[in-house]
Amino acid sequence: MRHLLSAADLDRSAAVALLDTAAGMAATQEREIKKLPTLRGRTVVNLFFEDSTRTRISFETAAKRLSADVINFSAKGSSVSKGESLKDTALTLQAMGADAVVVRHQASGAPHRLAHSGWVGSAVVNAGDGTHQHPTQALLDAFTLRRHLVGAGDAGLGRGLDGLHVAIVGDVLHSRVARSNVDLLHTLGARVTLVAPPTLLPVGVDAWTCATSYHLDEVLAQDAPDAIMMLRVQRERMGPGATGAVGGGTGFFPSALEYTREYGLDARRLAMLPDHAIVMHPGPMNRGLEISADAADSSRAVIVEQVTNGVAVRMAVLYTLLAGEREAL
């Protein structure tokens, strides 16, 4: 593996190998082995053009636990605000000797440009590009699903997510998390149903490897998902009036009130889930819009654990890219 740009680039064996490596990393953390020497002398650059809490801190923590040096770059306060291009920013980082560049960018495709332009010679990891992909989020979600629903620790090793049903609910249109999860969950053998209002489903969704529904109550009552993954309503990606009042516009379905009534996860819908089902959310959450406090804080919610698992998964990705065999995907 040379770069990690898209969940769609991972075949089943590569995805399972990353999850297994992450399980090994998690085991070291659980044994309170704080640091592994694996990436001593290597440099990881976190190149963030878009805001992040979880992903940036998680990559920084992962790199440091593997003993790498970390440089954090945020577009805010950098020469990007003076108009410096992605190319010149990349060339500057290359001159400083980065071994891996973890990039988040508002433009879909920016990490691909970085990886294939020749501007940097390092491994490139996509930490979220526009509405396109967020592959490490999909990996940490798969890791969490496997731990809870397939087998924790050694019991899960070598296994995918065969036969599981995952409902992904909400603002699919703007969600790189949904796209990445549809790709990876399908690769790992799970069945996915996207549940959203028609205005928040993208054109062409019929060609995705999943089912779609406009009716959350129907899916919960008739199709017993093993996990429900609530998506954040991404108001910042909705132009005024473009997609619906939920994004700040007027006169379109759904209003925030309608959205919560039709698609929000609350105590009533929580009670419709099978006993073993888990509640997921990539964060940050809009409490009271796509998820109620009851649901977010319930014993079925694994939202905080997703964050913990993100560190082990990102350790596995950095380890595989920088210490494992590097070959073209």
Residue among 138, 120, 118, 119 at smallest CA distance from 128: 138
Q: What 8-state DSSP symbol labels residue 324?
A: S
Q: Is 232 annotated as a binding residue?
A: yes
Q: 134 a known binding residue? A: yes
Specify the residue, 48 or 119, whose C-beta has the smaller distance to ligand CP.
48
Are 239 and 248 in contact, with CB atoms under 8 Å apart? no
248 labeled binding residue: no
Asked about 55 being catalytic, the answer comes back as yes
Tell me if residue 76 is catalytic. Answer: no
State yes or no: residue 292 binds ligand CP (CB under 6 A): no
Q: How far is the CB of 55 from ligand CP (least distance, A)?
A: 3
Q: Residue 298 corresponds to which tokens in the numbers above?
A: 């319930």
Alpha carbons 177 and 234: distance in angstroms, whole number? 11
Map the footprint of ligand CP across residues 38-57, applying CB under 6 A. Answer: 52-55
User: Cβ closer to ligand CP: 197 or 282?
Assistant: 282
DSSP H or E run through 144 = helix 135-149
Selected binder of ligand CP within 153, 274, 284, 288 (CB under 6 A): 284
Angle in degrees, CA 184, 187, 190, rounded to 5: 85
Stretch that binds ligand CP, among 60-68, 246-254, 257-265, 276-284 (CB under 6 A): 276-284
With both helix axes pointing from N to C terminus, report the angle between 176-187 and 12-30 in degrees, rounded to the nearest 10: 100
Interface positions, 89-128, toward ligand CP (CB under 6 A): 128
Q: Which of 3, 56, 65, 104 is catalytic?
A: 104
CB 21 within 8 A of CB 321: no
Site string for ligand CP, 137-176 (x = CB under 6 A): x---------------------------------------
Total residues at the site for ligand CP (CB under 6 A)? 9
Q: DSSP letters of 82-131? A: GT--HHHHHHHHHHTT-SEEEEEESSTTHHHHHHHSSS--SEEEEEEETT
Cβ neighbours of residue 192 under 8 Å, at least 6 residues apart?
Answer: 165, 166, 167, 168, 181, 182, 185, 186, 209, 210, 211
Give the span between the Cα atoms of 264 and 314, in whole angstroms.
30
Active site (annotated) includes residue 35? no
- When asked if residue 282 is in the footprint of ligand CP (CB under 6 A), the reply is yes
Q: Is 283 in the site for ligand CP (CB under 6 A)?
A: yes
* Residue 128, annotated as binding a ligand: no
76 binds ligand CP (CB under 6 A): no
Which of 169, 168, 173, 170 lies closest to 242, judged by CA? Answer: 173
What does the DSSP 8-state code read for residue 308? H
Give the residue with the Cβ less far from ligand CP, 55 or 187: 55
The reply to whether 235 sits near ligand CP by the rule CB under 6 A is no
Q: Establish whether 104 is a catalytic residue.
A: yes
Least gap, CB of 283 to ligand CP (angstroms) = 5
Nearest residue to ligand CP on Cβ basis? 55
Residues of this chain that interact with ligand CP (CB under 6 A) are: 52-55, 128, 137, 282-284
Catalytic residues: 54-55, 82, 104, 134
